[in-house]
A and B are shown apart, each in its own frame.
Chain A
Amino acid sequence: MKLAKVFLWLVVAGLGTLAFATIALKRGEPISAMWLVVAAVCTYALGYRFYSKFLAAKVLALDAMRATPAERLENGRDFMPTNKWVVFGHHFAAIAGPGPLLGPVLAAQFGYLPGTLWILVGAIFAGCVQDFVILLFSVRRDGKSLGQMAREEIGKTGGTVAFIAVLGILIILLAVVALVIVNALKNSPWGVFTIGMTIPIALLMGVYLRYLRPGRVLEASVLGFLLVLASIFGGQWVSQSPSLAGVFTLSATALAVLIIIYGFAASALPVWLLLAPRDYLSTFVKLGTVGILAIGIVIVRPHLQMPALTRFVDGTGPVFAGNLFPFAFITIACGAISGFHSLISSGTTPKLIAREPQARMVGYGAMMAESFVGIMAMIAACTLQPGTYFAVNSGAGMVGGSPAAAVATISQWGFPVTSDQMSTLAAAVGEKSLFFRTGGAPAFALGMAKIFSDSLGGTAVMALWYHFAIMFEALFILTVLDAGTRVARFMLQDALGHIWKPMGRTSWYPSIVTTSALVVLAWAWFLWQGIKDPLGGINSLWPLFGICNQLLATVALCVATTIIVRMGRACYMWVTLAPLCWLLLVTFSASWQKMFNANPLIGFLAHARQLAAGPTTVDLARRILNDRLDAAVCGVLMVLVSMIVIESAMVWVRVISGSRAAQTSEAPFVQTRFAEDAI
Chain B
Amino acid sequence: MKQPGDRVNARDRLIGKKHPPRRHGGAEERNQIVTTETRRRGESEVRENPIDGKATCDDPVTCNHQITRSLYPCHPERGGASATARRRIPVLPPAKVAAPGSSLETVSYESMLRLRRRLAAIWNTLVATLREIFDESAYERFLLRRQTTRSVTSYREFLREREDETGRRARCC
Contact = CB atoms under 8 A, between A and B. Distances in A.
A215 B171 contact: no
Interface in A572-618: none
Nearest to A344: B172
B166 A271 contact: yes
Given A78-B165, A211-B152, 9 more contacts: A64-B11, A214-B156, A215-B158, A217-B134, A275-B166, A340-B170, A341-B172, A343-B172, A549-B173
Nearest to B153: A214
B133 A90 contact: yes
Q: How large, as a class, is the contact surface on chain A?
A: 35 or more
B44 interface: no
A183 interface: no
Interface centre among A215, A284, A334, A679 (most CB of B within 10 A): A215
Interface string B138-173: 111110110000111011101101011111111111
A272 B172 contact: no
A66 interface: yes
Q: What does DSSP make chain A's interface, helix, strand, loop or mixed? A: helix
A218 B131 CA distance: 7
Interface in B76-133: 77, 125, 128-133
Interface in A61-83: 61-66, 76-78, 80, 82-83
B135 interface: yes
Contact of B133 (A61, A89, A487): A89
B150 A214 contact: yes
B159 A272 contact: yes
A168 interface: no
Nearest to B19: A679
B167 A486 contact: yes
Interface centre among B12, B132, B166 (most CB of A within 10 A): B132
14 contacts: A62-B10, A80-B141, A94-B172, A97-B172, A98-B173, A209-B155, A215-B139, A218-B136, A271-B159, A276-B166, A280-B135, A283-B134, A352-B132, A545-B173
B2 A483 contact: no
Q: What does DSSP make chain B's interface, helix, strand, loop or mixed? A: helix
A483 B9 contact: no
Contacts of A283: 133-134
Contacts of B129: 83, 85-86, 88-90
A480 interface: yes
Given A76-B145, A89-B133, A214-B152, A344 B170 contact: yes
Interface string B1-21: 110000001111000000100
A340 B172 CA distance: 6
Contacts of B156: 210, 214
Interface of B: 1-2, 9-12, 19, 77, 125, 128-136, 138-142, 144-145, 150-152, 154-156, 158-159, 161, 163-173
A679 B172 contact: no
Given A57-B10, A80-B141, A214-B154, A90 B132 contact: yes
Contacts of A1: 77
B138 to A, nearest CB: 8
A239 to B, nearest CB: 30
Given A83-B128, A272-B159, A347-B169, A61 B141 contact: no
Interface in A431-489: 479-480, 483-484, 486-487
